[in-house]
Amino acid sequence: MTDAADQSSTPDHLEAITQALNSGMFVHVRRMLQQMRPGDVAWLLESSPAPSRKVLWQLIDPDDYGEILEELSEEVRDGIIRLMAPEKLAVALEDMESDDLAYVLRDLPEQLFNQVLTEMDEQDRHRAELALSYPEDTAGSLMNTEFISLRPDVTIEVVLRYLRLHNELPEGTDTLYVVDQHNRLLGDISLASLVVQSPTTTVAEAMDTTVEAIPLTMSDTEVANLFERHDWLSAPVVDEQNQLLGRITIDDVVDIIREEGEHSMMGMAKMDDDEDTFAPVLVSARRRSFWLAINLGSALVAASVSNMFEATLSQLATLAILMTIVPSMGGIAGNQTLALVIRGMAVGHISDSNARWLLTKEALVGLFNGMLWALAISVVVGLWKGSWEIGLVIAAAMFINLSVAGLAGASIPIIMKRFNIDPALAGSMALTTITDTVGLLSFLGLATLILLH
């Protein structure tokens, strides 16, 4: 994170292409693009303002379209697909692995989706429909169905001879799977283990039978956690009868982990994590208005709380000056707890058995922080405003608000999860509304009771 700016090779690349593009040296740009890998071209498109993308796309060799589309982020890809004729799109999608194919197709507008499916040849259409039949965000939608399976009774020598019949193995192959005659998974054998085996060993002797297969319906988050915890490069996917249906490879898992991280970060900042960095102004402004509208609502709730104390405020303007401090501290303290719990949930650390422990702990952190910062603010306000009475009032409000913030920060994500609401998105706004309301109510309420009797 701290040194993303010193990207050595690639920004130079970007610089050079941008310059060539701006000076209209299209032949030169075309040649440069041909020498780049699909991942780099995708990165270049994502790093370019929307108008340049159109020009760049026309300079790319159509044979590379499929591989590049596969690597693009959702919103950028959607923009580019809109530039393509359905029949060209169908051709571009043909070479994709089945999981990526489903991933792209799922996002197409219905009319284009049908057109593309019609343009595909029978085999690809069948593959696409199968991939689309699994729910999004499950192991089924992540797996690809190209893999090599072996029978247990053959020798390693036979396996090697069989492999040599291929020009190349399916992309990302690091492990071969061993199945019985009903295609039920018996074990696996990694290529690293295959190449150290004596040729006369049988697959049954060489295979690892402790392989953990992933059920079709497992959520993608859990798949990612398993890969991470066990340092897997790939894993087999099976149905309820333990029949081998496909495999999931680490490259897709890396994408999930990246997306999850971005989702939580952007969610905390009330941003749509699909938003393209270089989208046009109006598109960006529209995407952000949802949370700005919600926040306006939340700010009006806070204003209506202080509106209840108009009489108090007009008698003592000092209260108006100080009234933003307690809500602000409550917002920060509550968001700290919220982030901790959201992270813990994402990596699967939090379950029924430890949720109560965590809730108690965070409530205690809130109480402790409440005491600490109540003391601090009473001293500051006492010295600044020369009134220890106001100091006492703000201290009491701080203590109440930080205690509530700890409890709310820990319980909001746990409750939201129960109701299937995503706490990374909605959590911090709900929390801030609570800490603003409680902060203002307790500060202005106590001030009215104590100072204006």
Stretch that binds a second copy, among 81-89, 113-121, 169-177, 238-246 (CB under 8 A): 169-177
The correct pick among 141, 298, 403, 448 for binding a second copy (CB under 8 A) is: 298
Question: CB of 86: closest distance to a second copy in angstroms?
Answer: 28
The correct pick among 71, 75, 119, 124 for binding a second copy (CB under 8 A) is: 71
Which residues neighbour 35 within 8 Å (Cβ) at sequence distance 6 or greater?
Answer: none
List the alpha helices (DSSP H) in 347-420.
Answer: 352-385, 388-418
Tell me phi and psi for residue 188, to 5 degrees. Answer: -140, 165
Stretch that binds a second copy, among 25-33, 39-47, 56-64, 80-88 (CB under 8 A): 39-47
Scan residues 149-168 and list those touching a second copy (CB under 8 A): 160, 163-164, 166-168
Question: CB of 112: closest distance to a second copy in angstroms?
Answer: 27
289 lies in the site for a second copy, by CB under 8 A = yes
Contact criterion met (CB below 8 Å) for 245 and 145: yes
The correct pick among 85, 254, 379, 383 for binding a second copy (CB under 8 A) is: 254
- Tokens matching residue 47: 């790093």
Question: CB of 181: closest distance to a second copy in angstroms?
Answer: 24
If binding means CB under 8 A, how many residues of this protein chain bind a second copy? 152
Scan residues 399-418 and list those touching a second copy (CB under 8 A): 417-418
Spell out a b/e string for 372-386, using b for 16 or more CB atoms within 10 Å of the CB, else e: ebbeebbeebbeeee
Which CB sits closer to a second copy, 114 or 360? 360
271 lies in the site for a second copy, by CB under 8 A = yes
Scan residues 341-380 and list those touching a second copy (CB under 8 A): 341-354, 357-358, 361-362, 364-365, 368-369, 372-373, 376-377, 380
Question: CB of 453: closest distance to a second copy in angstroms?
Answer: 19
The sign of the torsion formed by the CA atoms of 263, 268, 273, 278 equals negative
- Tokens matching residue 250: 């680490």
- Tally: H helices and E strands in the chain: 23, 6
Stretch that binds a second copy, among 55-63, 81-89, 181-189, 264-272 (CB under 8 A): 264-272
317 lies in the site for a second copy, by CB under 8 A = yes
The correct pick among 181, 231, 241, 453 for binding a second copy (CB under 8 A) is: 231
Stretch that binds a second copy, among 42-50, 88-96, 117-125, 239-247 (CB under 8 A): 42-50
Scan residues 99-128 and list those touching a second copy (CB under 8 A): none
Q: β-pairing, 234-238 with 175-179?
A: unpaired
As a whole number of angstroms, the distance between CA 65 and CA 290 comes to: 34
As a whole number of angstroms, the distance between CA 132 and CA 346 comes to: 26
Amino acid identity, position 4:
A
The sign of the torsion formed by the CA atoms of 170, 94, 256, 235 equals negative
Scan residues 76-95 and list those touching a second copy (CB under 8 A): none
211 lies in the site for a second copy, by CB under 8 A = no
15 lies in the site for a second copy, by CB under 8 A = yes
Which residues neighbour 9 within 8 Å (Cβ) at sequence distance 6 or greater?
Answer: none
Query: DSSP E strands: which ranges in 137-233?
Result: 149-150, 175-179, 185-190, 214-215
How many CB atoms within 10 Å of residue 362? 24
Q: What is the DSSP letter of 184?
A: B
Stretch that binds a second copy, among 45-53, 56-64, 120-128, 139-147 (CB under 8 A): 45-53
Q: Which of 361, 400, 405 is nearest to 377 (CA)?
A: 400
- Tokens matching residue 247: 């495999």
Which CB sits closer to a second copy, 6 or 122? 6
As a whole number of angstroms, the distance between CA 147 and CA 396 comes to: 65
270 lies in the site for a second copy, by CB under 8 A = yes
Which CB sits closer to a second copy, 112 or 163? 163
Amino acid identity, position 24:
G
The correct pick among 27, 83, 85, 265 for binding a second copy (CB under 8 A) is: 265
Question: CB of 56: closest distance to a second copy in angstroms?
Answer: 13
The correct pick among 85, 303, 450, 452 for binding a second copy (CB under 8 A) is: 303
